[in-house]
Structure 1
Amino acid sequence: MEQRKLNDQANTLVDLAKTHNIMYDMISDLNERSEDFKKRILTLKTKLETLIGSIHALPGLLSQTIRQQQRDFIEDQMENYDKHVAYNAERSRSSSRRRRSSSTAPPTLSESS
């Protein structure tokens, strides 16, 4: 009977040691996971801060881009207008030269008869 109690106590000690090892492994695993999560959270925090900075800069960048596009558009319109005015002025000069040259030319044989 005494032997049986001793065997039971020995088995209990073995079970406690196994339980202790299992608990130690679980705690170690949890600590590793905790460190991994901390690293991930820090990475996410850094990315989030970068994203927030980009979002804060966005209105300024948009307005700058819109202003530049407006300037480019106005410049294109002015160039087109200048080309149009130059073309019309050249046409006007050309047609007035034709009118002047035909009225000051000496009469041809067909006109004099």
Structure 2
Amino acid sequence: MTTNNYYFFFKGRVALYAILKSLEIKPGDEIILPGFTCVVVPNAILYCGVKPIYVDIDENTFNINPNLIEEKINSKTKAIIVQHTFGIPAQMDKIIEIAKKITCFSLKIHVMLLDLNIII
């Protein structure tokens, strides 16, 4: 097994920061994320000089509400971070359809009990 495509980090917050730094995201850009998340997620965004844009959650799943994402997207939006809160899957089909309206690709991150999708 080669490790050309694998990177290991000692903390999920460090991995998220490294991913964000490796992308062509610059200060002044915006990243959409759920309003209910661990503080390390917006901190990683802020440490990159990027503005976190919070989207309210679905009251049944505590995941980002896909019906509210589109109104937050603008020319500065570079990514959508989606977490699957408490292991409850987010509505990825809907979110990916919305994300196709901005130039993005999707990264799936597994960090022990944290499962994030980053759509960039």
Which band: TM-score by shorter chain? under 0.3
TM-score normalised by L of structure 2? 0.13
TM-score normalised by L of structure 1? 0.14
Structure with the bigger percentage of helix? 1
The structure whose RCO (Cα within 8 Å, separation 6+) is larger is: 2
Q: Looking at CA atoms only, which structure, 1 or 2, has the larger radius of gyration?
A: 1
